[in-house]
Amino acid sequence: MNDTRLDAFHKEVQRVLQFLATEYGKLQTGRANPALIEHVSVEAYGQSQPLRNVAGISVPDARTIVVQPWDRTIMQAVEKALQQANLGTSPVNDGTVIRLNLPQMNEERRLQLTKVVHQLAEEARISVRKSRQDIHDSIKAEKDEDVKETLMEALQKAVDDANAKVAEAAKKKEEEVMKV
């Protein structure tokens, strides 16, 4: 059954899942990944902008991220932003590029990250529940009992699907974090 309320719910679920994927991408999993730093805010040209807009980011090996600003005049600003990003490593500026050597993940850090993974998944489930409640309330006002019942069933199925996707993403990320 096509209903604008259900369509709105599906769009909200997609937004929540996209946000969850973005947040999971920011978590360090033992391998260098540009997503760890591309969102870092750099003060350049009189405004704050994401690092990916002012520099090239590459990963030459599993432990190193190389940042090459497109304009050397902002090298200091990029280095300062990376220091303030609290990545657990110090940037090394050689005048041309900035290298980030990521530390080896220990068991304690992996367990901390799994807690963060579960916390982000729970926040996603809460967002889905809030969205479900809004749609549920609007469906309750429906006059036709058959339509109301059909919409409620469709909404519940969509909620179950969304929660399954959140759980799957969390499980996948937890496995990635715990892999040595």
45 shares its domain with 71: yes
How much is the pLDDT for 109? 75
CATH of the domain at 164: 1.10.132.20
pLDDT tens-digit readout, 82-119? 888 766 678 888 888 888 887 777 777 778 788 888 88
pTM for this prediction? 0.68
Mean pLDDT across 3-18: 91
- Whether 113 and 177 have beta carbons less than 8 Å apart is answered as yes
The residue from 70, 101, 132 where one domain ends is: 101
pLDDT at 33 over 80: no
How much is the pLDDT for 21? 87
- Whether 67 and 97 have beta carbons less than 8 Å apart is answered as yes
18 shares its domain with 68: no
How much is the pLDDT for 16? 92
159 shares its domain with 122: yes
Residue 68, domain extent: 34-101
120 shares its domain with 163: yes
- Whether 32 and 59 have beta carbons less than 8 Å apart is answered as yes
CATH of the domain at 80: 3.30.1360.40
20 shares its domain with 42: no
39 shares its domain with 97: yes
The residue from 101, 134, 160 where one domain ends is: 101
57 shares its domain with 97: yes
Query: Number of folded domains in the chain?
Result: 2
Q: Which of 16, 13, 19, 20 is nearest to 161 (CA)?
A: 13
Work out the mean pLDDT of the chain and round it to a whole number: 85
